Amino acid sequence: MQITLNSPLDMHLHLRDGEMLKLVAPLSAKYFSWALVMPNLSPSIKTKEDIIAYKTRILEATKWEQFIPYMSVFFQKNLNYEILKELKNEILVVKMYPDGVTTNSSWGVKSIDLWEIGHIFEAMQKLEIPLSIHGETNDFILDREKNFLPTYELLASTYPKLKIIMEHITNKESISLLKKYDNLFATITLHHLSITLDDVIGWMLCPHNFCKPIAKTESDRQALLALALEADEKIMFWSDSAPHPKEKKESWNGSAGVFTAPIILPMLVELFEKHNKLENLEKFISKNAQKIYGIQAVKKEIILEKKDFLIPDMYGNVVPFFAGKIISWSVKE
């Protein structure tokens, strides 16, 4: 049995830089038509020059594959209409990080004060540049996403023509808000469809399942799964594949991030097949994103076959999601 996926897209990808970029970028470029690359390097991607230089490094690392990196820029208070107009042809989104909520976000916004930064949202709305948000506060870990929802609602109601992407949603409350506003859209990751908090800390600590937002309850996972399996037009897949060296994950202050890039497509096919929804997979991983962003993906066919695949223990110095597990589908080489 085989299945062909047309132009898979990864709408949220961390490629890092330096040697890590050279290791992980080809693993995404091999299986995806293009990807939206996140700007939270250290230092972060904040200027047109930063964007062009980083894109050049990505293209060099992926030069053997048919792959386009779409870029993002780190939200900052000095943005204005003229700066955004100059950046528009270089980026797909502006990415907002609240201060300190995830990796390399210490330069993020400390508060969403519309008196102070509302002109930026006005400019983005006018220029039709989407706003993509890591929507968490710095409260108790299980409440962080839920406590950010009023901010999503404030922005969605105040700027009704601004497309707002609720990144990697993890709970039922986020799904309810998503359905309330026409200009809210959301993304769902493979790992949030696959695990709960039990898989992180329920038996023994599993640092390679530790991510932000943290995985929630089984009922939350089931709600996300139902939305993904139906390929609701307001949601799209993105990996949030976030590699860290093994020693950074298995340490007293282990980094947040799950590395899924090499095994995304086989695991998604397995998941959708299990629930008899394979006919919806292409919408989830490609068509919905093209419609939401108003773009057309580069043509690229990926063939998967019903053949067992043993997920490697390591890719270079990075441990992948579900390392050592056998899954029932593999990419046909």
Active site residues: 240
- Alpha-carbon gap, residue 67 to 76, rounded angstroms: 29
Tokens coding 291: 């419609």
Q: Which of 5, 66, 3 is nearest to 282 (CA)?
A: 5
Q: Which of 176, 166, 172 is nearest to 292 (CA)?
A: 166
- Alpha-carbon gap, residue 214 to 30, rounded angstroms: 28
Classify 82 as helix, strand or coil: helix
Tokens coding 284: 């989830």
What are the backbone angles phi and psi of residue 190, rounded to the nearest 5°?
Answer: -60, -40
In contact, 169 and 179? CB cutoff 8 Å:
no
- Alpha-carbon gap, residue 262 to 29, rounded angstroms: 10
In a 13 Å sphere around the CA of 59, the CA atoms on its Cβ side amount to 10
Q: Whole-angstrom distance between the N-terminal and C-terminal Cα of the chain?
A: 15
